[in-house]
Chain A
Amino acid sequence: MGELTLDLGAVLLLALGLKGLAKIRTARTANGLAALALVLAVAGLLLQQGFDGWPWMLLGLAAGGGVGALLAYRVAMTAMPETVALFNGCGGMSSLLVAIGAAQLPTPLSLIGQISVLASVVVGAITFSGSIVAMGKLQEWLGTPAWTLRPQRHAVNIATALACLACCALVLKGFPLALVPLTILSLLLGVGLTLPVGGADMPVVISLLNSYSGVAAAAAGFVVGSELLIVAGAMVGAAGLILTQVMCTAMNRSLTSVLFGGALGGASASGEGGGSAKDEGYKNVTSCSPEECALTLEAAERVVFVPGYGLAVAQAQHSLKELARLLEQHGIAVSYAIHPVAGRMPGHMNVLLAEADVPYDQLIEMEVINPDFPRTDVVIVLGANDVVNPRAKSDPGSPLYGMPVLEVDQARSVFVVKRSLGSGYAGIRNDLFELPQTSMVFGDAKQVLQGLIQELRALGVGKTALAGAAR
């Protein structure tokens, strides 16, 4: 009876936790509730089966929990996508190992149990190897080898999948040793499916693999006969699917084109008439110094920053926050325009700015801020490129065409802080740079921002307010 109460409590808390995670005010509590749910679930299970084998349990707890906690506290926020991928892959590995173990138990499995073992092995292995490849690509340890972009890769993947099915059939016919090739082939399939995906699309893949690891957990639930595990796995699997869909919509990509279309800006970008950055040099580009930019800023009433991943790589979030504070003290309205895919995964830029203490209600979503750009005096683009490219609206031949962008070209003046005129992540020419109201400020984002702060201080900005509000 006791364990039933605990199990029901755990399911309830998990549902509340997942729901609460989708709202800002409740998210942190919800995360705690979900963690508590897992504690209850473990308590229920131990109450039911006893503490047989506790030294092994402690061993797993100390090793896995310890390393996990250490990584969680030390990892840099810029590396969040690859961290999630790593955690996720290990969840898949766990389901894979449990299924292999369950197949070795002396008690024979029912047909559903056997099928669940197979599902757990296949999905767990794909989740593991796929997540590790995703992590490697995000860390830039792995590139996209040209051979993976050939159309033959689909044939190879389909052949691997068929071979997996054949191994499954062998296991069901009574050849348990076929689990060995099944595991290896499934691991290869995970690599084959993930390796061709371009870096910009990787978050979608991680989200999808996150959904898979829920499916693998549910399958493991069938194997060990735990309804709680089935519910929890199914819930995460389904929720992960929805989240994947939400991300695809935000990036204007379909799931099939992410999985089977190859890298954005790879074959499609350079091949067509859209004109790649390498072929056409930029003409009529104006560049200016931080002094000129500071003078324009000082006279502005409404300033919008467009931060991109380049800002985070330069570790310039804190300088940006300092500049914003200075402008606010001067009575200038400051906000941040956040594109849905700013950073390396949806919502990543919000996390990176939150780390620099930027209040989240100053971060404005694209649909909300786009109508405001015509009333904006100065836009400063920092380390963002493709998400402000007007070509996404005007040029049907461009690979970006159709992607919703921040319409910064509507603002009175635009400053683009960039190291050089190189192309963006997707390798596509940006028409914004050639517009008459655009000036390029060449340099490292952090140095430019600190230069701007110095120039503004020299102009007397912030002095009066600083005397008033001694923070």
Chain B
Amino acid sequence: MSTDLGSAEALWVLLLGSLLGLELIGKVPPTLHTPLMSGANAISGVTLLAALALIGAAPSPALRLLGAVALGFALFNVVGGFLVTDRMLAMFKRKESN
């Protein structure tokens, strides 16, 4: 767990990441609002990286357990989120395929 990230550099990353996020989603057809929300929600489970880092850096079993619980919550978000989004999107069909 390296916390030696240059703080100015990290703030740049934050700024550019936010701008990218603002630009990526402009016009969304209403059909996709629910799947998009669910997909974006799955991505926000990316905090599982932090949980993994905590497990790697933790000196005591108690902290590792805490990390494992955090990892479990994050993976519940990620795995469930992506699968349920896929389940929804798989159902969208055009008329020809009928």
| Chain A residues at the B interface, C-beta cutoff of 8 Å | 14-15, 17-19, 21-24, 27-28, 30-32, 34-35, 38, 41-42, 45-46, 49-50, 52-53, 56-57, 59-61, 63-65, 67-69, 71-73, 75, 77, 80-81, 83-84, 87-88, 90-91, 93-95, 97-98, 100-102, 104-107, 109-110, 112-113, 203, 206-207, 210, 213-214, 216-218, 220-243, 246-247, 250, 338, 340, 343, 345-348, 350-351, 354-355, 357, 359-363, 365
Contact = CB atoms under 8 A, between A and B. Distances in A.
A231 B17 contact: yes
Contacts of B92: 24, 27-28, 350, 354, 360
B32 A347 contact: yes
Interface in B1-32: 1-5, 7, 9-10, 13-22, 24-32
A463 B45 CA distance: 53
B34 A346 contact: yes
A359 B98 contact: yes
A230 B10 contact: yes
Given A75-B84, A355-B91, 10 more contacts: A65-B75, A87-B41, A87-B76, A90-B45, A104-B66, A224-B53, A234-B14, A237-B21, A347-B34, A360-B93
A95 B48 CA distance: 8
B58 A53 contact: yes
Nearest to A325: B98
Interface residues of B, number: 89
Given A59-B72, A346-B33, A229 B43 contact: no
Given A98-B67, A359-B94, A360-B94, A243 B51 contact: no
Given A53-B55, A98-B51, A246 B33 contact: yes
Interface string B53-93: 11111110001111111111111111111111111111111
A238 B20 contact: yes
A21 B32 contact: yes
Contacts of A235: 17-18, 20-21, 24, 43
